[in-house]
Amino acid sequence: MPTSAQPHGKRPGHPKGADHDRLGVVGGLSALSLDAMASIAYGPEAIVLVLALAGSAALGYTLPVTVAIALLLAVLTVSYRQVIAAFPTGGGAYGVSKTYLGRPAALVAGASLIIDYVLNVAVSVAAGVAALTSAFPELLPYRVVLCLVVLALITGINLRGIARSARAFITPTVVYIGAIMLVIVVGLIRGSPAVAHHGHHVQAVETVGVFLLLRAFANGCVALTGVEAIANAVPSFKDPRVRHAQRAEVALGALLATMLIGVGVLIEKFSIGPVPGVTVLSQVTEASLGDGPLYYLVQFTTVILLALAANTSFGGLPVLAHLLAKDDNLPHLFALRAERQVHRYGIAFLAVTAALLLVVAEGEMNLLVPLFAIGVFIGFTLSQFGMVKHWLTSRPAGWHYKAALNGTGGFLTGAAAIVITVTKVGEGGWLIVIALPLLVAGMEGVNRAYARFAVRLQVGEVPTPPRPRRSVVVVPVHTVNRLTHDALAVALSLGDRVVAVNVTHPDDEGEAHAFVEQWERWDPGVELVQVFDPRFRTAEPLITYVTGLRESHVLVLIAEIQPEHRWQAILKNQRGAIIAAALRRTDVVICRMRFRVGDRPPGPPHA
Amino acid sequence: MPTSAQPHGKRPGHPKGADHDRLGVVGGLSALSLDAMASIAYGPEAIVLVLALAGSAALGYTLPVTVAIALLLAVLTVSYRQVIAAFPTGGGAYGVSKTYLGRPAALVAGASLIIDYVLNVAVSVAAGVAALTSAFPELLPYRVVLCLVVLALITGINLRGIARSARAFITPTVVYIGAIMLVIVVGLIRGSPAVAHHGHHVQAVETVGVFLLLRAFANGCVALTGVEAIANAVPSFKDPRVRHAQRAEVALGALLATMLIGVGVLIEKFSIGPVPGVTVLSQVTEASLGDGPLYYLVQFTTVILLALAANTSFGGLPVLAHLLAKDDNLPHLFALRAERQVHRYGIAFLAVTAALLLVVAEGEMNLLVPLFAIGVFIGFTLSQFGMVKHWLTSRPAGWHYKAALNGTGGFLTGAAAIVITVTKVGEGGWLIVIALPLLVAGMEGVNRAYARFAVRLQVGEVPTPPRPRRSVVVVPVHTVNRLTHDALAVALSLGDRVVAVNVTHPDDEGEAHAFVEQWERWDPGVELVQVFDPRFRTAEPLITYVTGLRESHVLVLIAEIQPEHRWQAILKNQRGAIIAAALRRTDVVICRMRFRVGDRPPGPPHA
């Protein structure tokens, strides 16, 4: 048999049009890195809060801890640069785990990333709105509504494509980076703080010790969330994808490390400690730039970026869900793409779950901020250990050092994950402990169901050639008009046999007789069967009739009017919908045709 | 052509089974009269409240006003008894107006009845719950939820059929009638009140005048709402319907008049006036039976019946909507009946609108209590004047008196309607003034739309005989498996030509090649067309292809898996649903077949 390929649009192999919807390096930063870069707003704060428990003296450890985090960041950046090259179809930690650590580990990696992405959206939007309501307290009662509005905006932009979201958010990204750099540079140049601050003396409630430093380190690691997003979404980059993604990853690492260390230096320089109701970043900004308009600009930009950090999840999760679906671990609908390569179902899932979280928590997200770090760090750990195995298997030049680097990084992130989970288990860590296994179990269940379907569908075998068999077309009728005529014309063109079925009820005898009279006057040449149902049912009598037919293929042809205006849909008598819904329990083929009842004057019927 | 009638169940003409779902006289009282009988709880109260404005002396007019209302009740009962005989298909005021007063009046009658029914449900449920929360104030915050629960219960019972609702509510009805009769009889026998009451001296703020008495009469007329319900729902009665319905109507009139006059006599006898927070009926009960357990029984029964008064609307509105739909004034789906003759869509509409009203008003229905009287009285007036015309046209024996009776009744009810509207326009009467014309305009619009459809459908004309034409069946494919085989087998049994269409995207080249290889290895004898879409769309390339086909009848056969368990529906890849939804804009016939993927082991394919 001839198979003809009729391409529409450009020939396969040169999808230049597709690149317009993809990301360059700057776009990658804007679409996928805001999560990581927004960490500047709360990462240093988390470190300072923990260290302050041991008094003002312990605050001197802020910079060393920050530098340690920056080193870990460097390890992660290098590691993920390699992951990008090894897994150009994306997936990040999921791809690495699947290849080197086995399916169970891969499911854990996938599930933890999903949890992280969902929490990130909710937390980011809530944090942005929280900063807004701090500035304008009269908006506080509308907090949840504001969160949902912001979420809807970001979702809407992402539904128009990841490249569009990247373009939309480039300006805030660039302004933010510039603002933070300005704060750092000016602060480094300055001799003394622009605004003399309160100089709280912090009371020590603990002693400085290894565990305290470890906690400070672990809490500060929340600044590293989002570093993996670029590796998850490599397919979203322009060709050559690997190189663009790698450059974006390195750019992100460099920017983030610079900003982290810069802020850490300023914290030390200006002896900044925790002040209730005032963030550490705002103190640094105030000390560096004074409390004039520049200060408010930086604050405003931070608010915007906190909310837009949610965008990272919209860039990462749909691609991850696509890969999981292609491996039969998630419903296949996540693998569908729409116009502009938008993964509609992944985006919708993300928006809906985040909205639910926001509503349930009433926008109170402070406790959940460190939680999404747990999911990300599980992913970090699995991907690093997976890469260790990658080096052990492939053994390229200098593999010892690479394996050692990844191994150390893996241990560090693993330790951080454990510390965060243990310290936060009461405040919400239990959520992760429960949700993660549930999600993994869910994906296992999906995978098993698809395996069973594949057996039933005889996937992989070559079927026998299809052969035609006797068919009958059943047409439900109740009046004689143009619609009936058209339906019978289609039915006669299809089946070997056509039967018109009219269901009658008590109280309808007059109408039933009139119908038969009209039918006999018309004489369409089609067999008419009347089925009487004393129980006034519409669909069941028809089902009883069709299940009694002996042909191999039974079709029921349902013809309905198609009104011109949308509101007129209510005028349809629903009989067709009721019959179609009831027939779904059977094995018949349900065919529906539409007869337009617009304002066009009626022409001659198909003769 | 032979037409064969294959009856299932009993033969037409002897639908004995249907009568089981219909009402007898007592059932008619229980299903359709609670609205009227619950008026005892607030009718006399309304009279007393108005008269009290002119001081204690004016309260002496209570009994005369009550007797006047009872006389009007007698006129209405006789009148509706005649309406029932003249319109055995139901509709009440709508039927009368349609026949004798023209379509615009009929639409006004129908719309006012609908508004009344909806308001009645909301007001009754709210009144019952309000009485409950007066007895148990701790339930007050849950008022709206309680209203919705009660509404859901009544709706649920009615969805199982009007006869079932009648049977369910017979006991409360009988107990209520018995309780009120007990109060009246004991009160008449007693010399002095069982509980000496406070004897408030009411300050006069107005003088007794004709207008005051008219207002008292008009407000008291709220006791007459519900009298029309039986005439609206004659088809719901057992055969002989007219006789059963007439008996029920007379029984209702007699009971209601007795109770009204009885309570009125007791109000006068025990000199009862308005007391804040205590209803007139409860004062009468207390005076008659004391404040022991009998008092609480009467109160409790009244609460139950107030809530169940909503049931009258569930009995009346669906039948009315059915008639309106048959006349093309409402969407035809209101004419559909389900198992046990339940008008599902009418009941659902009533439940939903009442629920919305309850939620919006937060259960605060006191102001709306008299409003639904307006709609009913418009109906009364139109039906009485319609009957006058009926007598003028048919002129049976004694038509002078009958016409005079109905004419007087019509003027009285018309005056009452005007007085109520004018006095209550600020407190919500404007709602009726706006809603009624809107509803009438809506029904006009529906009617015009159906008239246009009828022109397009060439209703009333005999069509030409239907002729078969060339057809093509398009089958979207993307893998080679058992499902594909079965779909092609069906397609080959149907159309003159079969085409398999495979939509490919960039990034899918590997899959596309593998598919073509499998297809050629299979060699099913069906033409395969590949359509490339660089924009990753699922449905649009297919639509472009099918709209380019030249056959007269184009079918698209969509085959999908049908999982065994309901939760597995999420595992379907949605491609079929997307394609079907998109194809609805076109003129192709959309056919859907299902392939069961249960746990049954795979058998040999249809060879």
Which chain B residues are Cβ-neighbours of A9 within 8 angstroms?
532-535
- Asked if B457 and A584 come within 8 Å (Cβ–Cβ), the reply is no
Mean pLDDT of chain A: 83
Q: Which of A9, A528, A587 sits opposite B534 (nearest CB)?
A: A9
CA dist A294 and B414 (Å) reads 74
Task: Enumerate the β-bridge partners of residue B498.
Answer: B473
- Dump pLDDT digits (tens) for B248-281: 999 999 999 999 999 999 888 888 877 766 778 8
- Asked if B450 and A571 come within 8 Å (Cβ–Cβ), the reply is yes
CA dist B376 and B118 (Å) reads 12
A605 touching B (Cβ < 8 Å): yes
What band does B18 get if pLDDT is binned at 50, 70 and 90?
Answer: low
Please report the sign of the dihedral spanned by the C-alpha atoms of residue A533, residue A537, residue A539, residue A540: negative
Tell me the nearest-neighbour CA distance from B28 into chain A, angstroms: 20
8 Å CB contact between A163 and A18:
no
Tell me the nearest-neighbour CA distance from B81 into chain A, angstroms: 23
If one counts every other C-beta atom within 10 angstroms of the C-beta of residue A499, the result is 19
Q: Which of B526, B531, B599 sits opposite A6 (nearest CB)?
A: B531
Which chain A residues are Cβ-neighbours of B595 within 8 angstroms?
457
Tell me whether domains A18-451 and A471-599 share a fold: no
- Asked if A467 and B482 come within 8 Å (Cβ–Cβ), the reply is no
**From A187-201, A409-423, B148-162, the region with the lowest mean pLDDT:** A187-201
CA dist B88 and B234 (Å) reads 6
**From B86-90, B210-214, B336-340, the region with the lowest mean pLDDT:** B336-340
Q: Is the per-residue pLDDT at A78 higher than 50?
A: yes
8 Å CB contact between A368 and A361:
yes
Which chain A residues are Cβ-neighbours of B599 within 8 angstroms?
452
B153 touching A (Cβ < 8 Å): no
Ordered alpha helix ranges (H), B270-370: 280-289, 293-308, 310-326, 344-360
Q: Which of residues 543-602 of B touch A (CB under 8 A)?
A: 544, 552-553, 555, 557, 561-563, 568, 570-575, 578, 584, 587, 589-600, 602
Report, as an integer, the average pLDDT of A297-310.
83
Q: Looking up tokens 């929280």, which residue turns up?
A: A130
Report, as an integer, the average pLDDT of B289-313.
83
Mutation site for A-interface testing, chosen from B234, B448, B467 by largest number of A Cβ within 10 Å: B467
Tell me the nearest-neighbour CA distance from B578 into chain A, angstroms: 10
Most confident by average pLDDT, A226-235, A550-559, B396-405 = A550-559
Q: Is the per-residue pLDDT at A39 higher than 90?
A: no
What band does B544 get if pLDDT is binned at 50, 70 and 90?
Answer: very high
- Asked if A532 and B9 come within 8 Å (Cβ–Cβ), the reply is yes
Q: Is the per-residue pLDDT at A424 higher than 80?
A: no
What band does B239 get if pLDDT is binned at 50, 70 and 90?
Answer: confident
Q: Which of A6, A13, A338 sits opposite B530 (nearest CB)?
A: A6
CA dist A68 and A224 (Å) reads 12
Q: Which of residues 218-247 of B touch A (CB under 8 A)?
A: 235
CA dist B160 and B311 (Å) reads 13
- Dump pLDDT digits (tens) for A338-393: 766 678 888 999 999 999 888 877 756 555 665 667 888 888 899 889 989 988 88
Q: Is the per-residue pLDDT at A13 higher than 60?
A: no
CA dist A160 and A154 (Å) reads 10
Which chain B residues are Cβ-neighbours of A464 within 8 angstroms?
485, 605, 607
Minimal CA–CA distance to A474: which of A540, A391, A532, A542? A542
**From A590-599, B232-241, B494-503, B597-606, the region with the lowest mean pLDDT:** B597-606
- Dump pLDDT digits (tens) for A251-296: 999 999 999 999 999 888 888 877 766 778 888 888 888 878 888 8
B2 touching A (Cβ < 8 Å): yes
What band does B282 get if pLDDT is binned at 50, 70 and 90?
Answer: confident
State the fold for domain B18-451.
Amino acid/polyamine transporter I (1.20.1740)
Contacts of A514 (CB under 8 A, 6+ apart): none
Describe chain A by its helix, strand, coil percentages, rounded to 5.
65, 10, 25
**From A102-106, A159-163, A300-304, B535-539, the region with the lowest mean pLDDT:** A159-163
- Asked if B469 and A457 come within 8 Å (Cβ–Cβ), the reply is no
Go through chain A and tell me how many residues it has: 607
Q: Looking up tokens 């300005």, which residue turns up?
A: A182
- pLDDT (0 to 100) of residue B46: 81
Residue at B516: amino acid letter = V
Backbone angles phi, psi at A476, to 5 degrees: -70, 130
CB neighbour burial string for A120-147, b if at least 16 within 10 angstroms, e if fewer = bbbbbbbbbbbbbbeeeeeeeeebbebb
Domain-wise residue ranges, chain B: 18-451, 471-599
Contacts of A13 (CB under 8 A, 6+ apart): B509
Tell me the nearest-neighbour CA distance from A241 into chain B, angstroms: 13
**Which position has the higher pLDDT, B226 or A528?**
A528
- Asked if B489 and A481 come within 8 Å (Cβ–Cβ), the reply is no
CA dist B111 and B117 (Å) reads 10
Report, as an integer, the average pLDDT of B580-606.
78
Q: Looking up tokens 């409402």, which residue turns up?
A: B330
- Asked if A482 and B463 come within 8 Å (Cβ–Cβ), the reply is yes
Q: Which of residues 482-541 of A touch B (CB under 8 A)?
A: 482-486, 488-490, 492-496, 504-507, 509, 512, 516, 518-538, 541
The alpha-carbon radius of gyration of chain B (Å, integer) is 32
- Asked if A449 and B518 come within 8 Å (Cβ–Cβ), the reply is no
Task: Enumerate the β-bridge partners of residue B502.
Answer: B530
Contacts of A365 (CB under 8 A, 6+ apart): A122, A123, A126, A127, A130, A358
Q: Is the per-residue pLDDT at B592 higher than 90?
A: yes
CATH number given to A471-599: 3.40.50.620
- pLDDT (0 to 100) of residue B473: 93
Tell me the nearest-neighbour CA distance from A146 into chain B, angstroms: 23
CA dist B197 and B533 (Å) reads 87
The alpha-carbon radius of gyration of chain A (Å, integer) is 32
- Asked if B505 and A337 come within 8 Å (Cβ–Cβ), the reply is yes
Q: Looking up tokens 């870990």, which residue turns up?
A: A72
Tell me the nearest-neighbour CA distance from B407 into chain A, angstroms: 34
8 Å CB contact between B545 and B474:
yes
Q: Which of A333, A519, A563 sits opposite B573 (nearest CB)?
A: A333
- Dump pLDDT digits (tens) for B42-90: 788 888 888 888 877 788 888 889 998 998 899 889 888 888 888 888 7
What band does A164 get if pLDDT is binned at 50, 70 and 90?
Answer: confident
The rounded percent of chain A whose pLDDT value lies above 70 is 90
CB neighbour burial string for B119-142, b if at least 16 within 10 angstroms, e if fewer = bbbbbbbbbbbbbbbeeeeeeeee
Tell me the nearest-neighbour CA distance from A557 into chain B, angstroms: 8
Q: Which of residues 317-346 of B touch A (CB under 8 A)?
A: 331-333, 335-341, 345
Which chain B residues are Cβ-neighbours of A593 within 8 angstroms?
589-590
- pLDDT (0 to 100) of residue A197: 59
- Asked if B462 and A336 come within 8 Å (Cβ–Cβ), the reply is no
Which chain B residues are Cβ-neighbours of A483 within 8 angstroms?
457
Most confident by average pLDDT, A178-187, A229-238, B211-220 = A178-187
